[in-house]
Structure formats: structure tokens, C-alpha cells
Chain A
Amino acid sequence: MSRITVAVSESTFKTAFELLQRNFAMRFEQTVALGAVRAGIDARARLENGDVSLRQDGTVKVGELDVRWSRLTLSLEIDLPSICVGGGCIGTRWLRICLPRYCVFTASTDVSVAVDLAPYVGQEVSFESVFAVRYWDPAAPGPDGPVPCEPVRDLLVAGELLDAFPTDRKQWHVHLAPGPVDVDLFDFPDVAGDLVEGALRNAVFGLLPEGSARTLVLAVIGSATDLIRTVLDAPDDFEEWLSDLFNVSFGLLDVVIQVVAAYFGRCVPLFRIDDPFVVMEAEGDLLPVSIPIDDVKITADDDELVITADIGAGS
């Protein structure tokens, strides 16, 4: 048994990381019910920029990766309350009679809007990582974590960003295994809150015919803004409601953390080494020459990454 050592410079490592980072693609769709509101999210994101460096202790620092949302479509379906006119009671000579009421909104879902908030928000992702070596066996691809790897890989393979994992041979995979992943909270600017609120207000206005009928309904409800905030149970600071929706109700922050950790740590490797490794292709009547690879280990310092492995007898 012999041992082989391959050294990878920090610049080559950075190039490999940038390729990995550029290939990152995330899709997320979810719908949540919040009382009289049904909120949905359709999100697409990629990672850009950032800084990666090897450190003396063998870890990797990844900082300030930008989460760029190519789509962040928020849909809101609102069941408007039954705003009614008429009603009240009168005392007749004989009995007290209560009068019919007539309600403006009747359906279970009265207004829906969809707003793309992608231009108004962005996060930075940072994490520290160690190297991890995993063995890929197509017959036993291994347990998945909270984020399944197949959809992530399929997305990349479909986009020709990743070669499909082999089904006819085994591989050693070198991953970055992130520790805790830091992501900025969603913090929408005023303009995003105004956009959503304006879309809802327009939708409510659109339902009501112009004229004194609209004036009456708005008088009964206070205003369209009051109505929307009451239905959404939103505070005066609408941006805060919006941020809470993404951070807490959708849990999109946790999703980003889990997907980033899964992408780098389990799903898409930094390097792949076939086992057995073909050192001479088949040629004519000659069989290919390949050597088994075993016991792959990684060490690193702030200059380079070193991969060592046992190699067996040629076959």
C-alpha cells in the first residue's frame, strides 16, 4: 500500500470555491395561513461576491456572501370582513323588530395580490467551515439531512451547472462542512411595505364601484388602510410586519441557513475523486489501469490544502 499527497494552493482552492458558490441555486415555495390571510412565497436565490480564506488552524472562513433574490414573490389572499350596512332595531306598536343587514363582501377570499419584493431586500451569509470527506456509493447514497440533496443537485444538473453524480462508480467527495451559518434578518425598507400595502389598497378600491357607495364603505371601515391593517393584524410599521412574515412565519431565514449548510456540507462537493481512480484509459486490446483510493484525509493551513490518500495495487 502506498500513499499519495496532492497539495492545492489557496488560489486554486478559491477558484474551486467560487465555482461552487456560483453554482448555488435555491428555490423555495410555501404557503401559510395567518387568520384571515393566506400568505404565499415563491423565492429563487443565488450567492454572489463574498470572501473565502484558508486559516492556519485548518478551517475555512467564508464571509459576506450576498444572497441575491432573483424572485421573491409574496402573494396575499385576504378574506375581507363582512362589512355591512343597514341593521338596527325599531320599536313598533306591538313588538321590537330588528332589521336586515346587507354585507359588501361575500366570498371566502375577496382580494389577492402578488408582489415581487426581490429588488428590495438582500442578505449576507457568513460561516466558518472545516473540511469533510464523504464516500459516495451510488448503491447507498447515505442519509439525508433536513434539506434533501436530490432536488438541489437536480436543479444544478438541469441548469448544466453540475455534472450528475455517477451511478456506475464510487467517489470520494471533499466538502466544506459549515459550522453555524450567519444570515442577516429580512429587513424590508419602507418602499417595500408601501408597495405591498398599496397593492392591497388598490385591490380593495378595485372591488368597490366609484362614487358615494365607495365613500360609504370606506366610511364604515374607517379607510382601506385601516381595513388592511386590521385584517393583517399589522402594526403601524407595516415593514415590520413584512419582515416578521419572512423571518418568522415563512421561516425563510432558517431555510437559507439549512440550504447553505446542506449545499456546501452534504450535497455538492468541492472536489470529487473517483474510486478506483483510472490512471490509464483502455486502449486497443489493453484494459484500463485503475487504482483503488482509500483513507482520504484533508489538512490545511493558510497557504494550501493538502489531500492525502492510500492507493492500492493497480488492477
Chain B
Amino acid sequence: MSSVRNANQINGALFSKRSLDSSELAVRAAIGHRFDRPGKFDVFVERDGRLVHREAVEVADDGRIPQRDVDLARLADARSCDCEHDGAPRDRLVTNGFMVFSVSHGFGRYHVRIERWDASSRETVLDQRQSLPAGDLFIAVLVEAGSYAVLVDKATVATIRVREPNPKRPHRTDVPLFLELPSKPKPQAHEIDAGCSVVIQLAHAARVRIEAIERSD
């Protein structure tokens, strides 16, 4: 006799079939925000409408950090929000450096807002609900084989066929497809292996969405 007990500790959201949208962050849908100007910034992260994280970031031409990764799921796991800060930045990014916001696990939906501020004013430089600014990155991982459409605002700008893994050869997922889309892109067709990332960089502020057209299963 044998018995099997699964601890059910799988990252189930990784296999969710929902579309990936730059207006809300979830597992497999990340953004990279480029800080194109020096200054002081306030980063706000909401989960399902509730503020779960706030931090100060400083960007300077002589900053040393080119990329900072933020796992929003881990911030939300902390339960208590460290939402009040004295304006002292945790990090000093280099101008044109990126903060990459991703969600490692769970089914929560997150929104990021970034404000640039000084003694006299505040300016929203990223409100993810509205659109991604020019130069920001939308980073999506396509797990299921099939065909997908990339929509910028409501126009299809590319199709991507995600290939089934070939069990006869080693399968790598660290080979991303990088699409730098001009202001008026012509539709393009691409292929990637299942599990690889698609990175879309826009020439103008817009909302990006990736939808399944046809799944192979």
C-alpha cells in the first residue's frame, strides 16, 4: 500500500490563464520604470486598492545603483505597511536606472505610483493604472504554448507564437524577446519558447496588454 500527500505548495498563480496587462501587476506581469531625471521620488504600492508599501528613492547622475528589484508579493506578505517615511531614501539610483516591480507569488493585483517631488511641488511620473511612460518596460512571461496578441492601447502591434517545449532538447527560459516599439509600429510576428519573457518598451506613454488568441491545449 502506498499513500501520497501533497503539501500543495505550488505557485499556482504561475499557471493562471488570465491576460497580462501593464495596468496591474500580477505574477508573470512586471514593469520596469526608468528614472530619466535626477531627483527625489516617492514610490507607492497598492494591493487591491490598499496601500501596502511606500518608500523614498533618490536618483542622481552619480548614483551607483543601475537596477533595483522590488518583489511586491514579499512586501505585501510583511502585513504591516511601513507607509510613513521621513523622506530619507533607501537607495540612490543612477539617472536612467530602473526599478523593476514584479510579483513572485500569490493572486494579488498590485498598482505602482511614483511621484517626483521637491520643496515646492509634486509630479506623478508613473501611474500604472493609466499608462506606462515612454521608455518604461512591460515584462511578461508566457507559460502556455499558443498564439498571443500584443496590444498597445487597443491596437494589435505584434503577435507572438509560444512554442511547446521539445522534450528531446534542454529547455531554457532565460532567453527573452525584447520589442522596442516605435510610435507607430507595423504589426510583427515573433516566436519564443514557453516560459520565456517578452519585454516591451514603448516610444510613447501607453497601456500594454497581452492576450491569448489561441492556446495549443
- A residues near B (Cβ < 8 Å) are 84-107, 109-116, 195, 199, 202-203, 206-209, 211-213, 215-216, 218-220, 222-223
Contacts and interface: CB of A to CB of B under 8 A. Distances in A.
A216 B194 contact: yes
B121 interface: no
Given A109-B7, A110-B7, A116-B2, A90 B97 contact: no
A103 B217 CA distance: 22
Contact of A105 (B9, B97, B199): B9
B175 A88 contact: yes
Contacts of A195: 2
Contacts of B175: 88
Given A88-B174, A94-B96, A212 B194 contact: yes
Interface in B1-45: 1-12, 14-15, 27-28, 30, 32, 34
Given A99-B197, A102-B11, A113 B2 contact: yes
Contact of B173 (A112, A115, A209, A220): A220
Q: Is the interface of A mostly helix, strand, loop or mixed?
A: mixed
A86 B217 contact: no
Nearest to B1: A116
Nearest to B8: A207
B17 to A, nearest CB: 9
B178 interface: yes
A88 to B, nearest CB: 4
A213 B165 contact: no
B143 to A, nearest CB: 6
B30 A115 contact: no
A112 B67 contact: no
Contacts of A96: 66
Nearest to B194: A216
B98 interface: yes
Interface of B: 1-12, 14-15, 27-28, 30, 32, 34, 66-67, 69, 71, 96-98, 100, 102, 104-105, 137, 139, 141, 143-146, 164-167, 170-171, 173-176, 178, 180, 194-197, 199, 201, 215-217
Nearest to A103: B11
B67 A98 contact: yes
A104 B14 contact: yes
Given A102-B104, A208-B10, A215-B164, 15 more contacts: A85-B196, A86-B28, A88-B173, A88-B175, A90-B176, A99-B176, A100-B100, A100-B102, A106-B11, A111-B6, A113-B3, A207-B6, A212-B146, A218-B165, A219-B166
Given A87-B174, A97-B67, A104-B11, A212 B5 contact: no
A197 to B, nearest CB: 11
Given A90-B199, A220-B173, A102 B98 contact: no
Contacts of B171: 216, 219-220
Nearest to B28: A102
Nearest to A202: B4
Interface centre among B3, B8, B98, B196 (most CB of A within 10 A): B3
